[in-house]
Amino acid sequence: MLLLKLATRNIFRNVSRTVLTVFLISTSLIALVFMDGFATAMASAMSKSATRLFPGDSQIHQRNFLEEYNQTKVIQVPNIIADLQAEELIQSATPRTLSSGTISSSSNMIAAQIIGVHSLFEPTVSKLKLTVIEGDYLSEELSDNTTGNKKTNKHSNKSEILIGQKMAERLEVGLGDRIVISMPQADGKDFVQELFKVTGIFSFKSKQMDSAMVFIHINRAQQMLGLNNNTYHEIAFNFKNNTDATNLELPIFAKYSNRQIIAQSWTQIMPELASILELMTVSIVAIGFLLFILVGLGVVNALFMSIFERTYEFGVCRSIGTSARFIFVQIMAEALMIAMISAVIGCFVGWCLNYYFSIYGIDYGQLEMSGATLSEPIKTQVNLSQFTIYPLQMILLTLLVCIYPAWSAAKIQPAQALRKSL
Partner 1 sequence: MKSDFNLDSQSNNQIVIQTRNLCKTFGEKDTLVKALDDVSLDIKAGEFSAIIGPSGSGKSTLLQMIGGLDVADSGEIILAGNNIADLSSGALTRFRRDHIGFIFQSYNLIPVLSAAENVEYIMLLQGIEKVERKERTFEILKQVGLLGRENRRPGQLSGGQQQRVAVARAMVSKPDIILADEPTANLDSKTGIELLDMMKELNEVHKMTFLFSTHDPKIMDRATRLIQLVDGKLTD
| Residue ranges in contact with partner 1 by CB under 8 A | 1-2, 5-6, 9-10, 13, 312-313, 316-324, 326, 413-415, 418-419, 421-422
According to the 3-state scheme, what is the secondary structure of 357-400?
Answer: HHHHCECCCCEEECCEEECCCECCCCCHHHHCHHHHHHHHHHHH
Contact partner at residue 320 from ligand ATP, partner 1, none, CB < 5 to 8 Å by partner kind:
partner 1
- Cβ proximity to partner 1: between 326 and 348 the closer is 326
Cα distances (Å, whole numbers) of residue 168 to 9, 104, 175, 181, 212:
76, 11, 9, 14, 10
SS3 127: coil
CB of 401 to partner 1, least distance (A): 24
Choose among ligand ATP, partner 1, none what residue 322 binds, the Cβ cut-off being 5 to 8 Å by kind.
Answer: partner 1
- CA-nearest of 372, 382, 403 to 47 is 372
Q: Which is nearer to ligand ATP, 9 or 419 (CB)?
A: 419
* Distances 122 to 97, 112, 134, 154, 218 between C-alpha atoms, Å: 12, 19, 18, 21, 10
| Rounded Cα distance, 317 and 91, in Å | 69
Query: Considering beta carbons, is residue 320 or 384 the nearer one to partner 1?
Result: 320
| 356-368 per-residue burial string, b: 16 or more CB within 10 A, e: under 16 | ebbeeeeeeeeee
Rounded to a whole number of angstroms, the minimum distance from the CB of residue 333 to partner 1 is 13
* Rounded Cα gap, residues 245 and 127, in angstroms: 18
Binding to ligand ATP (CB under 6 A) within 304-333 occurs at none
Distance in Å, CB of 314 to ligand ATP, minimum: 16
Rule CB under 6 A: is residue 207 a binding residue for ligand ATP? no
Taking a C-beta distance cutoff of 8 angstroms, is the pair 348, 356 a contact? no
Of the candidates 151, 255, 419, 420, which one interacts with ligand ATP according to CB under 6 A? 419
Give 8 or 416: the residue with its C-beta nearer to ligand ATP.
416
Smallest distance from ligand ATP to CB 313, Å? 18
Q: Which residue is nearest to ligand ATP (CB)?
A: 419
Distance CA 280, CA 276 (A): 6
- Please, which residue, 82 or 415, has the CB nearer to ligand ATP? 415
Q: Which is nearer to ligand ATP, 135 or 414 (CB)?
A: 414
Q: How many CA atoms lie within 13 A of 148 on its CB side?
A: 11
Determine the Cα–Cα distance for residues 183 and 290; give it in Å rounded to an integer: 56
Q: Which is nearer to partner 1, 255 or 419 (CB)?
A: 419
> What is the smallest separation between the CB atom of 332 and ligand ATP, expressed in angstroms?
29
Q: How far is CA 371 from CA 40, 67, 312, 324, in A?
A: 18, 19, 65, 62
CB of 416 to ligand ATP, least distance (A): 6
Q: How far is the CB of 8 from ligand ATP (least distance, A)?
A: 34
The listed partner (ligand ATP, partner 1, none) that binds 317, CB under 5 to 8 Å by sort, is partner 1
Nearer to ligand ATP, 243 or 416 (CB): 416
Which one, 304 or 326, has the nearer CB to partner 1?
326
Which secondary-structure segment (H or E) carries 404? Answer: helix 389-410
When CB distances are held under 5 to 8 angstroms depending on the partner's kind, the choice from partner 1, ligand ATP, none that residue 176 binds is: none
Strands 191-202 and 160-164 come out as parallel
Q: How far is the CB of 396 from partner 1 (least distance, A)?
A: 27
CA distances from 28 to 188, 290, 390, 411 (A): 62, 10, 10, 31
Print the binding letters for residues 258-277 with ligand ATP: x by CB under 6 A, - otherwise: --------------------
321/328 Cα distance (integer angstroms): 14
Query: How near is the Cβ of 304 to ligand ATP at its closest, in Å?
Result: 22
Scored b (16 or more CB within 10 A) or e, 304-336 reads: eebbeebbbebbebbeeeeeeebbbbbbbbbbb
Q: Smallest distance, Å, CB 419 to ligand ATP?
A: 6
The footprint of ligand ATP (CB under 6 A) covers 416, 419
